[in-house]
Amino acid sequence: MVCRNPKTAEEAKGEITEASNNQNVHLHILDMSVPQDVYKFTQTFMEQHDQLHTLVNNAGCMINTREVIAENLEKNFVTNTLSTHILTTNLIPLLKKSEKSRVVVVTSGGMLVQKLNVDDLQFEKMKPFDGTMAYAQNKRQQVVMTEQYAKQYPDVHFSCMHPGWADTPAVRNSMPDFYNKMKDKLRSPSQGADTAVWLAVSPAALEQQSGLFFQDRSPAAAHLPLAWTKVCTKDEENFMTLLNDLADKFKA
């Protein structure tokens, strides 16, 4: 478990240990909004372990005001996109050492309203700043990242998924108006996690093509019909180059 909040992380660890009767549950405290720490974590993890079977990228945030942190980078982008990229790519050597290894990225159907925007990764041109749309753009970026990882690392199985709208503290805190209108129709956290767990452990998931977007255990379209959210291959490659260049700045 890689978690930001020590208190809630220990509570979750205790619940998992009790429910599974498995003491082999380990906790690492890491703030994904601090890319230097993410890089250091990957280095330490690789020194302490000789393989990694499954990585589930679930950490994320939706901040409704534009916050600039390390290297003049916007916080939503750092947490949702850049640090996910650093964590994933730096752990690829361990994943390659494990047979049938996989990476699951928890994204969002909100990305369906966004076209990849390579020209404004830090939302400097977004006037006024809209945290919901910034989050949706980050989630579109995660879908592109998943597709590109699948091409670059054929020895690892990649997938991303939309959990559906679930009743979680993140939804309540970041989208209070949406929550109040939809709270009676939201999924439980367990229902939201179902596809991520299936992608992480099911043999059937490995029979699916690497790099796909899933909802309810099935591949789903990453673009709505006539939505004009597709970009050319060059834009996707430029995006990955920019990510790599930014990630390199935080190498120890």
Residues carrying an active site annotation: 135
Q: CA 132 to CA 62: how far, in whole Å?
A: 7
Using an 8 Å Cβ cutoff, are 102 and 200 in contact?
yes
**Main-chain dihedrals φ then ψ at residue 105, nearest 5 degrees:** -110, 120
Q: CA 196 to CA 103: how far, in whole Å?
A: 10
- Upstream peptide bond of 93 is cis (omega within 30 degrees of 0): no
Q: CA 131 to CA 135: how far, in whole Å?
A: 6
- The letter for the amino acid at 237 is E
Query: Encoding tokens for residue 65?
Result: 């005001």
Nearest to 146 by CA among 119, 108, 93: 108
Using an 8 Å Cβ cutoff, are 129 and 152 in contact?
no
Using an 8 Å Cβ cutoff, are 216 and 164 in contact?
yes
**Main-chain dihedrals φ then ψ at residue 176, nearest 5 degrees:** -60, -40
**Main-chain dihedrals φ then ψ at residue 205, nearest 5 degrees:** -65, -35
Query: Encoding tokens for residue 18?
Result: 């009790």
The order of strands in the sheet holding 157-161 is 54-57, 102-106, 157-161, 212-215, 218-219
DSSP state, residue 67? -
